[in-house]
Structure 1
Amino acid sequence: MDNEQVEKRMNAGIDRLSNLPDDLIHKILSFVGIKHAIELSFLSSRWRYIWTSMPHLNFLIEDFSASAELSRFVTHLLSRRNNLIEVFSVKLCFGGDFSQEFVRQILNYAFSHNIQQLDITWLYENTIEFPLSLICSQSLTHLSMRREYVYQTVRRYGFTSTSTLELPALTTLYLHDFTLCCDENIDKDIGLFSKCANLKILTLKGCKVIGSDHLNICHPLLSNLTLEDVQGSLNVVNVISPQLKSLTINDWFEKYQFLISAPNLVSLLYKGYHSLDLYTDGFHLLEKVDLCVTGGIASAHKIVCLFQHLQSVKYLTLNLEILELLSSSAELMLNQPSPFTNLKSLHIYPIKEVWELQNKVKISTEVKNYLLDNSPSATFTEVSREVFYLCVYIHVLCVVLIALGFKEVYMFVSLCLICT
């Protein structure tokens, strides 16, 4: 085959990427910053203007050397983008030297083009005030605001807000490292997110609430709630959500009372240093519960009281240290009927290694009977500390072997484990 034939074949060849539909090309380009998407326009004439109709706008700080460059780029982009095309999503990743006005410019454009998903990540060590009133949209359904640490330091809350959200279409809200200020302008009785009537998924991670001793989360449509390391001036977390199905609480620092009204709750996961201080009007549909209490000051009495609220659970997972704590106060369960009548599975696992224990406590027969007597057909699985951490160490060893290129040794170790 001569050069002329090769050239003809190349010229006649199909550019597979260019033959893809616009929607798929837009999706591919959504995984890179909008600046790189524009730079890719030289690939073919088909791609030359495709960036002007992109519904996904990703502004990444690493794509620009200074805020002035980014500001000029934004002005250029928004003036040349096809104004008839709606904006589906915006990802904005910026540092502390970027002005609020720059953020406002992008947000206003997105809100005027019926944005549905907004993801803001802030990379900086200091705190900035970000009025939630900046986010005003009738179309926004997903909002994520988070802080990522440039350098790992003592936690400082990246965003501070003194206003409430008013997003009628919002269904998913994720806030990370946010200070929520309850001042005189906010009705503390109805909550910070009361004007998000369609909210279904709410995650507060590493947030701080100041100006109020209670956090109210009252949403008729909320189905999934995650509260992780929420701190501040709180004493009480009050949740009223008739449609709530899944509740996750990670509480390693503070000790709150949780007042939960969620008659349709199906799944409860709690991890914390203290016993869960829970008050509820009943979880009649509860199926799955995972409790992990690690603190040395955990109360056996409060754990027994907690079990009374979980009577309908079918699949119960407890860390071994809970059973050891109960075994040291077995008299609390003497002549007490088991609260669990629907239990199908009880799984026990350790979180502390043997060397971390001051006194190893044997799990008493009274505790096992208390948990299982009213569910005789339930399966009971207990993983010992020795087996648990042996598996952990072997897993780490296998990861190291793969990283070092010893894949055959890894496969041999895996085969030995299967055979045993």
Structure 2
Amino acid sequence: MTDSASEIIIPPTMTKRIKLSESENEDRLGDLPETVILHILSFLNAKQAVETCVLSKRWKDLWKRLPKLILCSDDYGTYKIFTKFVSKVLALRDSSIALQALDFKPQNGRSHMVKRIINYAISHNVQQLGLYVNGHITEIPSKVFSFRTLTHLKLSIYPGINRETMFPKSLNLPAITNLQLEHFTFCVGDDDRAEPFSNFNRLNSLVISKCTVRGGRHTLYISNATLINLTIYDDGYNFYKINLCTPCLCTFVFTGIPYHRLSGCNASSLKHVDIDADLFSYPDDPPLFLFSWLLEFANIKSLTVSAATLQVLSLVPDLLNIKLPSLVNLKSLRVIIKPLEYGFRKRLCDVKLRKVKSKKKAARLRKAFEKGLEPSPLVPEGIVDFLLQNSPSAEVDFIDKEMLARRARSL
């Protein structure tokens, strides 16, 4: 085995281009302290970090001392090349340097190297671990669920269509502060409750993506005395109730289709809510669930909603005539303005068409949709005043995402 990964993974043309760039430009990065350079390199994936070894003699072995490894197969032509690269990096990395974080995302979620990656991470006392694989949870070594020094865990296990990944019932992760889960099913126990997070005594941030509940009354109890931030992503037809027993919860973020009944959200600790809602074209549940959430958010101080969220909310019958009993302490309302995707506009149009009794109105609605004129306006009339009816002095900001993106590109 050679002593430099660059001999295998960096094409000659890349080497020539980088060396020419070095001779033509002042090496400002090279003058920085090594700790600063390593911090900068830690934001790159491993392939990009290794490629810097040809910049100069000083850079030759810097990548070997990285405290963070991001192993993603997106930049490789074949999975075989990626696995060869990963093996090389693990073999050549300076093992005397503490490994703080490791993210592993193989091509198409293949789990071929998962055991080796986990063994390497655990042997180096990694604190932050991210795994994104397809397959069965049994392919993940059980030791990852009893890793006592782990503080951050991102775990996405996709078992395939019409299959489920059951969340482990027994976990021993006493140091966990940040937990991100994707494609998991939480099972109800003998007490008719799915309550998977109550034993995490240091948990601050929880992200649940595309998860569901099986058994009993389909209720997910998020009970945790230390949880501060909760984020949920769900773009499918996953109906279940979420009961929050989180006395320290400060921020709640939701993206997707609101098919969940929330309860317990009116705790005085909850201050910030951010919602980007979607909907299906056939049921009426999402608008009603979304409205019920507003009733739970009694004491929040800031609310961020997308234009799509307001479109979904506007589907609630006679919404503007409803007296809202909540949002009495609102200080800030932020409306994110961004173009509605075609699929969303189509689903929204389908919902509206079902409510139109006149054929002429239906025809006009279809024609407006085909021309891209529906929905109009982007923010439904009167809906901002509806949200502010109990907090008329709250500051309102309309944030145009496209304009911000254009400004960023022009800098």
| TM category, shorter | 0.5 to 0.7
Question: For 2:301 and 2:258, how far apart are their aligned partners in 1?
Answer: 29
- Superimposed CA distance per residue, residues 184-237 of structure 1 (whole angstroms, 9 cap, x where no aligned partner): 7x9874722334321111111222333552212111111111122276876322
Cα gap change, 1:201 to 1:157, in 2 (>3 Å): farther
Give 1:237's aligned residue: 242
The answer as to 2:53 corresponding to 1:41 is yes
Give 1:84's aligned residue: 96
- Alignment partner of 2:115: what SS? helix
Query: Deviation at 1:67?
Result: 4.6
Question: For 1:76 and 1:20, how far apart are their aligned partners in 2?
Answer: 27
Give 1:133's aligned residue: 142
Cα gap change, 1:110 to 1:47, in 2 (>3 Å): same
Question: For 1:49 and 1:343, how far apart are their aligned partners in 2?
Answer: 53
- Alignment partner of 1:217: what SS? strand
Q: TM-score, normalised by structure 2?
A: 0.62
The size of the alignment, in residue pairs, is 344
The one of 123, 130, 142 equivalent to 1:119 is 130
Amino acid paired to 1:378 = S
Give 1:264's aligned residue: 269
Question: For 2:31 and 2:116, how far apart are their aligned partners in 1?
Answer: 34
Task: Tell me the percent identity.
Answer: 25
Query: Deviation at 1:43?
Result: 3.1
Q: TM-score, normalised by structure 1?
A: 0.61
Q: Structure 2: state its 5+ residue gaps.
A: 1-21, 362-379
* Structure with greater Cα Rg: 1
Question: For 1:82 and 1:339, how far apart are their aligned partners in 2?
Answer: 56
- The more displaced of 81-90 and 254-263 is 254-263
The one of 169, 179, 197 equivalent to 2:184 is 179
- Superimposed CA distance per residue, residues 99-158 of structure 1 (whole angstroms, 9 cap, x where no aligned partner): 44x212122222222222223344xxx65435483524323222223489xxxxxx9489
The one of 21, 26, 34 equivalent to 2:33 is 21
- Superimposed CA distance per residue, residues 11-46 of structure 1 (whole angstroms, 9 cap, x where no aligned partner): 9x9854443322222233334443453443243322
**Does the 8 Å contact 1:338/1:371 carry over to 2?**
no
**Does the 8 Å contact 2:294/2:326 carry over to 1?**
yes
**Does the 8 Å contact 1:171/1:200 carry over to 2?**
yes
**Does the 8 Å contact 1:191/1:215 carry over to 2?**
yes
Q: Structure 1: state its 5+ residue gaps.
A: 1-9, 149-154, 275-292, 408-420
Alignment of 1:46-65 (within 5 A): 46-64=58-76
- Superimposed CA distance per residue, residues 364-393 of structure 1 (whole angstroms, 9 cap, x where no aligned partner): 99x979974x66x6369899xxxx9xx99x
The one of 137, 150, 155 equivalent to 1:145 is 155
**Does the 8 Å contact 1:89/1:115 carry over to 2?**
yes
The one of 162, 176, 195 equivalent to 1:170 is 176
Cα gap change, 1:96 to 1:251, in 2 (>3 Å): closer
**Does the 8 Å contact 1:147/1:158 carry over to 2?**
no
Give 1:194's aligned residue: 198
Question: For 2:312 and 2:268, how far apart are their aligned partners in 1?
Answer: 29
The one of 296, 310, 323 equivalent to 1:319 is 310
- Superimposed CA distance per residue, residues 323-364 of structure 1 (whole angstroms, 9 cap, x where no aligned partner): 68464795x76xxx966655667889998989775569xx99
Give 2:15's aligned residue: none
Cα gap change, 1:194 to 1:369, in 2 (>3 Å): closer
Cα gap change, 1:24 to 1:211, in 2 (>3 Å): farther
- Superimposed CA distance per residue, residues 149-198 of structure 1 (whole angstroms, 9 cap, x where no aligned partner): xxxxxx9489834425432222222223x1225387x9874722334321
Give 2:17's aligned residue: none
Question: For 2:95 and 2:76, how far apart are their aligned partners in 1?
Answer: 24
The one of 246, 253, 259 equivalent to 2:251 is 246
- Superimposed CA distance per residue, residues 387-419 of structure 1 (whole angstroms, 9 cap, x where no aligned partner): x9xx99xx69x97xx99xxx9xxxxxxxxxxxx
- Alignment partner of 1:198: what SS? coil
Amino acid paired to 2:208 = L
Cα gap change, 1:327 to 1:379, in 2 (>3 Å): farther
Amino acid paired to 2:168 = S
Question: For 1:256 and 1:308, how far apart are their aligned partners in 2?
Answer: 11
CA RMSD of aligned residues (A): 5.2
Alignment of 1:343-354 (within 5 A): none
- Quick one: higher RCO (CA 8 Å, sep 6+), 1 or 2? 2
**Does the 8 Å contact 1:26/1:56 carry over to 2?**
no
Give 2:284's aligned residue: 297
